Amino acid sequence: MGILEGKRILVTGVLTDSSIAFHVARLCQEQGATVVLTGYGRLTLVERIAKRLPEPPPVLELDVTNDEHLDTLADRVAEHVDGLDGIVHSIGYTPQEALGGNFLNTRWEHVATALHTSTFSLKSLTTALLPLMKNGGSVVALDFDNSVSYPIYDWMGVAKAGLASTARYLARYLGEQKIRVNLVSAGPLNTMAARSIPGFEELAAEWPKRAPLGWDITDPEPAARAVVALLSDWFPATTGEIVHVDGGFHSTGA
């Protein structure tokens, strides 16, 4: 038996088989869970990638900034599973105008898009699915270290700081319902999302040099394993936490 035997997990953010979310979905299935995926935009691409999982799961359309999508999400998920035990938030988007060293010149409209998609969506996704989490459960979101500033990351860094704060408040308000909310802060990985950040290679190049355990930007499995562990019952009293999976980079100085 796997550590997620019998659990029902919704995973967002599967776009390619190099994404953390894809490997989370794969490991969830390997550990005994039933998985439902959501996708946005290139839905046929998500459906094609989903076929590479051990058991091709259903794929539901979800734009986390669309109230109609959110309002109908629980009912659409309920067509495939009779409840949820876990939610994986792997959603982030920042317009190019808010990245790449343009911090001082970014307009509010671009910042608002970043915060709505990357930060507020954790709250809106979680609350949309609360009717399916009647027996408690675990919400895990993917983060990037926001304790310091990084070159080029700019307003996405601010959005991730907001994500961490959002997770803490969700943990506070959902604790009575036995719902845990935690973050996995992964080091930089060579995913499609990362490659869209100007200067990503420069940022990622520092990790193997400084991380005490080293860091492989091509291997999303360590981060995915942490997500799966937090989805399981092995962390029954952990909530509002950030688990760093970055080779220890965050703990080192110059």
- Domain extents in the chain: 8-246
Q: Which residues are catalytic?
A: 153, 160
Q: What is the DSSP letter of 168?
A: H
91 is in an annotated binding site: yes
State yes or no: 160 annotated in a binding site: yes
Q: Torsion over CA of 152, 154, 156 and 161, rounded to 10 degrees?
A: 130
Which residues make Cβ contacts (< 8 Å) with residue 116, sequence separation at least 6? 65
**Which stretches of the chain are assigned E, i.e. beta strand?**
8-11, 34-39, 59-61, 86-89, 137-143, 179-186, 242-245
Query: In this structure, which amino acid lies at residue 28?
Result: C
Reading the chain (254 residues) residue by residue, the pLDDT tens digits are: 899 999 999 999 998 999 999 999 999 999 999 999 999 988 999 999 999 999 999 999 999 999 999 999 999 999 999 999 999 999 999 999 999 899 999 999 999 999 999 999 999 999 999 999 999 999 999 999 988 898 889 999 999 999 999 999 999 999 999 999 999 999 999 876 766 677 778 778 888 989 999 999 999 999 999 999 999 999 999 999 999 999 999 998 76
pTM of the model: 0.96
Q: Is 63 annotated as a binding residue?
A: yes
Q: What CATH number does the domain located at 8-246 have?
A: 3.40.50.720
Q: Which residues contact 160 (CB under 8 A, 6 or more apart)?
A: 92, 118, 119, 143, 144, 146
